[in-house]
């Protein structure tokens, strides 16, 4: 599967871009602040409907313009045409000429995994970062996951709003309670099921990076230990105090343990970086295993900072991408690392919101 055509209008510093891409490895070279990361951001946005920079859509509108347009042609077993327009007044997303009404149905159209410096937050950041990692991976692999998550978040918000009111309406509270228990249990179940498939991949990627001396374990630690309904009822007195729902999948953790110790607390800076990359490599490999074709890999700036082992840990993925006519987009300010010349390597120069072969 590959991105055959990308079209940008008023997206960040791109006023107008129409470009064809072949399968294979694409090196995007250019000085700082020319638009390399912006281009990866646009591709990721098409795949996941979010920015990997964690910002809202308004920030991606070119300064002084009303809205942006991002369009693509995806070629794989099937061909797809995607069009996305966003402005404060109007949002449009269409797949093959049809308006997309259910985001869950759209999610599998094409998959992308990004490697960027922000990934370190997977290890260092709050639990919400790791929950987002699980959520994205499950949304990319289970069509039912995203709609469930959306239902959960809606019911949770309503329930919290009620808890904040002084005189709460018990019957309505009870209906939201039933909904979060019902939907929450299914989310917990899907998160549980992911672990035995994900953790061997994470560990093996980590061993390649760290040289095989240490184990990395990924453990799902749900906030609900046994029975959501019982534990939620038990938390009622504390809920009255904090006026918010204190237990449920929105409080889950994903523990990352290097040599049996918490990576966030005890790992060195270098180990944390390796853990973060191992998680992303595992994400890409898991998607490949499940769908038979690799996702599009977006590698932002990180090759320069990696030592030989960490770079080499990428090689199986790059080979796989190459063999299966998928794509890798890799940005750099200078060519300090080349994964081999070979066929399918395209070099681009990115300058001031434009792209040209170099
Ligand atoms: N919404 C926007 N409208 C116009 N320009 C933007 C917008 N957001 C970012 N930029 C510009 O994009 C450039 C940074 O692009 P980026 O892709 O991050 O650079 P790099 O090539 O270093 O990865 C900066 O010049 C910045 O001012
Ligand atoms: Mg950049």
Summarised one tens digit per residue, pLDDT across range 151-193 is 999 999 999 999 999 777 899 999 999 999 999 999 999 999 9
Other C-beta atoms closer than 10 Å to the C-beta of 121 total 17
**SS3 call for 63:** coil
Report the distance separating Cα 297 and Cα 102, nearest Å. 25
Q: Which long-range contacts link 337-346 to residues 24+ away (Cβ below 8 Å)?
A: 337/303, 337/304, 337/306, 337/311, 338/27, 339/25, 339/314, 339/315, 343/24, 344/22, 344/23, 344/24, 344/25, 345/24, 345/25, 345/27, 346/21, 346/22, 346/24, 346/25, 346/26, 346/27
Q: Are 329 and 26 in contact (CB under 8 A)?
A: yes
Report the distance separating Cα 353 and Cα 358, nearest Å. 15
Summarised one tens digit per residue, pLDDT across range 241-275 is 999 999 999 999 999 999 999 999 999 998 999 99
pTM of the model: 0.94
Ligand 1 mean position, distance from CA 34 (Å): 6
Ligand 1 atom with minimal separation from the 350 CA: 21
Specify the pLDDT at position 330. Answer: 92
Report the distance separating Cα 312 and Cα 221, nearest Å. 31
Specify the pLDDT at position 320. Answer: 82
Specify the pLDDT at position 51. Answer: 96
- Identify which ligand lies nearest to the alpha carbon of 300: 2
User: pLDDT at residue 341 above 60?
Assistant: no
Residue with CA nearest ligand 1 atom 18: 37
**SS3 call for 254:** strand
Specify the pLDDT at position 308. Answer: 79
- Which domains are seen in the chain, by residue range? 1-111+295-358 (3.40.50.300), 118-197+206-270 (1.20.1050.90)
Ligand 1 mean position, distance from CA 312 (Å): 30
**Choice among 37-46, 202-211, 220-229 with the minimum mean pLDDT:** 202-211
Sequence-separated (6 or more) residues with CB below 8 Å from residue 78: none
CA angle 219, 310, 42 (to 5 degrees): 80
Mean pLDDT of 273-283: 94
Report the distance separating Cα 157 and Cα 171, nearest Å. 16
User: pLDDT at residue 339 above 80?
Assistant: no
Which of 8, 33, 43 for a ligand 1 pocket mutation test, highest count of atoms within 8 Å of Cβ?
33
User: pLDDT at residue 143 above 80?
Assistant: yes
Q: Distances from the Cα of 295 to the Cαs of 11, 197, 292, in angstroms?
A: 23, 17, 10
Q: Does ligand 1 come within 6 angstroms of the Cβ of 71?
A: no
Ligand 1 atom with minimal separation from the 13 CA: 5
Report the distance separating Cα 116 and Cα 48, nearest Å. 16
Mean pLDDT of the chain: 92
Ligand 2 mean position, distance from CA 163 (Å): 43
């Amino acid at each position: 599967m590959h991105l055959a055509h990308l079209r940008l209008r008023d997206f960040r510093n791109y006023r107008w871009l129409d470009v064809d891409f072949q399968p294979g490895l694409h090196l995007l070279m250019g000085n700082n602040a020319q638009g390399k990361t912006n281009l990866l951001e646009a591709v990721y946005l098409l795949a996941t409907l979010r920015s990997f920079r964690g910002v809202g859509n308004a920030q991606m509108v070119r300064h002084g313009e009303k809205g942006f347009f991002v369009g693509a042609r995806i070629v794989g077993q099937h061909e797809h045409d995607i069009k996305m327009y966003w402005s404060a007044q109007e949002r449009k997303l269409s797949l093959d000429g049809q308006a997309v009404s259910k985001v869950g149905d759209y999610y599998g159209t094409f998959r992308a995994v990004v490697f960027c410096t922000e990934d370190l937050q997977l290890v260092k950041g709050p639990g919400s970062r790791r929950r987002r990692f699980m959520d994205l991976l499950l949304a990319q692999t289970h069509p039912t996951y995203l709609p469930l998550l959306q239902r959960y978040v809606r019911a949770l918000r309503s329930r919290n709003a009620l808890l904040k009111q002084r005189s709460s309406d018990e019957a309505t509270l009870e209906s939201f309670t039933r909904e979060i228990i019902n939907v929450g249990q299914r989310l917990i179940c899907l998160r549980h099921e992911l672990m035995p498939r994900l953790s061997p991949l994470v560990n093996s990627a980590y061993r390649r990076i760290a040289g095989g001396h240490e184990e990395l374990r990924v453990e799902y630690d749900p906030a609900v230990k046994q029975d959501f309904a019982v534990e939620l009822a038990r938390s009622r007195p504390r809920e009255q105090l904090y006026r918010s729902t204190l237990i449920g999948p929105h409080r889950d953790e994903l523990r990352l343990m290097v040599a049996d110790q918490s990576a966030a607390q005890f790992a060195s800076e270098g180990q944390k970086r390796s853990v973060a990359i191992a998680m992303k490599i595992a994400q890409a490999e898991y998607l490949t295993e499940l769908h038979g074709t690799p996702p599009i890999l977006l590698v932002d700036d990180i090759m320069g900072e990696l030592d030989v082992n960490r770079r080499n840990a990428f090689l199986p993925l790059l080979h796989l991408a190459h063999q299966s006519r998928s794509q890798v987009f890799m940005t750099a300010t200078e060519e300090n690392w080349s994964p081999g010349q070979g066929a399918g390597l395209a070099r681009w120069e990115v300058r001031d919101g434009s792209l040209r072969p170099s």
